[in-house]
Structure 1
Amino acid sequence: MPMYEYGCLDCARQFERLLPMNAADQHIVCPFCQSTRVQRRLSLFATHSRGEASAPAVAATMSDSGCSCSSCGCGSRS
C-alpha cells in the first residue's frame, strides 16, 4: 500500500496516510482539525542503490555538459 501526503486547507498542517491506491482521493479528514478540506500533495522520495551502478559510479560517467550515455533521457548526445 502506498503512503500519501495531504495538506489541510484550513489549518495548513501536513499529514500522511497509508491507503490502497483506489482510496487515495476518497473522504480524507485532517487529524488535527477534523476538516474535510484536504488536498493530496506531491510526494518526493529518494532511492539508494548498493549495486554496480551506485551514485559514485553514475557520477563518474557524467561530464560538464550532462550524462555521457544516450539512454537515460537527459537529452545529452555526447
Structure 2
Amino acid sequence: MYEYGCLDCARQFERLLPMNAADQHIVIVCPFCQSTHVQRRLSLFAAHSRGETSAPAAAATTSGGGCSCSSCGCGSRS
C-alpha cells in the first residue's frame, strides 16, 4: 500500500501496488482529478497492542541488551 499526493488538486490517496512497481514504471493517476502529476508520500503505520507494554519493548528491557538512547545513554558512551 502506497500513499500518494496529487500536485494538482492537493488530495491524498492510496494505491495497492506490488513492491517492484517502481521498476515497472507504472503511471499513477489521481482518482479525483485524473492528473498524473502525483508524488509518492512517506507512509507511516500504526501498531496497536492490548496491554500497557508491547512484547518487543518488554523483551528489550528484560534481555539487558536492548534499550533506547534516551533510557541508557547510548550517545554518551566513549
**If each structure's strand is expressed as a fraction of its own residues, which one has the higher value?**
1
Find the residue that maps to 1:24 and give its secondary structure: helix
Higher relative contact order (CA 8 A, sep 6+): 2
CA RMSD of aligned residues (A): 6.0
Residue-pair matches, total: 76
TM-score (norm 1): 0.60
CA contact (8 A) 1:66 1:74 kept: no
Quote the offset at 1:76 in angstroms: 7.3
Deviating beyond 3 angstroms after TM superposition, the runs of 4 or more aligned structure 1 residues are: 24-27, 49-53, 55-78
What are structure 2's unaligned runs of at least 5 residues?
none
What are structure 1's unaligned runs of at least 5 residues?
none
CA contact (8 A) 2:68 2:74 kept: no
**Cα displacement string for residues 42-72 of structure 1 (whole angstroms, at most 9, x for unaligned residues):** 1111112458952897599699999578999
Seq. identity, %:
91
**If each structure's helix is expressed as a fraction of its own residues, which one has the higher value?**
2
